[in-house]
Amino acid sequence: MKNNNIKTFVAVGIGAALFFVLGRFVAIPSPVPNTNISLQYAVLGLMAAMYGPVAGGLIGFIGHALIDLSWGGIPWWSWVIASAFTGVVVGLFAKKLNVQEGDFNKAKFAMFAVANLIAHAAAWIVVAPVLDILIYAEPVKKVFAQGAFAAVSNIITAVVVGGLLILAYTKTIAKKGSLDKE
3-state secondary structure 36-64: EECCHHHHHHHHHHHHCHHHHHHHHHHHH
In a domain, 177, yes or no: no
Return the CATH number at 30.
Answer: 1.10.1760.20
In a domain, 181, yes or no: no
Please count the structural domains in the chain.
1
How do strand 36-37 and strand 28-29 relate by DSSP bridges? Answer: antiparallel
| Domain assignment of residue 73, given as a range | 2-172
pLDDT of residue 182: 55
- Please tell me the pTM assigned to this model: 0.93
In a domain, 178, yes or no: no
Question: In which residue ranges of the chain is pLDDT below 70?
Answer: 1-2, 176-182
In a domain, 180, yes or no: no
**What DSSP designation does 29 have?**
E
pLDDT of residue 3: 74
In a domain, 34, yes or no: yes
In a domain, 179, yes or no: no
- Classify 120 as helix, strand or coil: helix
In a domain, 156, yes or no: yes
Number of residues in the chain: 182
In a domain, 182, yes or no: no
Nearest 5°: CA angle at 7, between 81 and 118?
35
Q: How many C-beta atoms lie closer than 10 Å to residue 166's C-beta?
A: 21
* CA-to-CA dists, residue 142 to 30, 38, 97, 106, 145, angstroms: 14, 19, 36, 37, 5
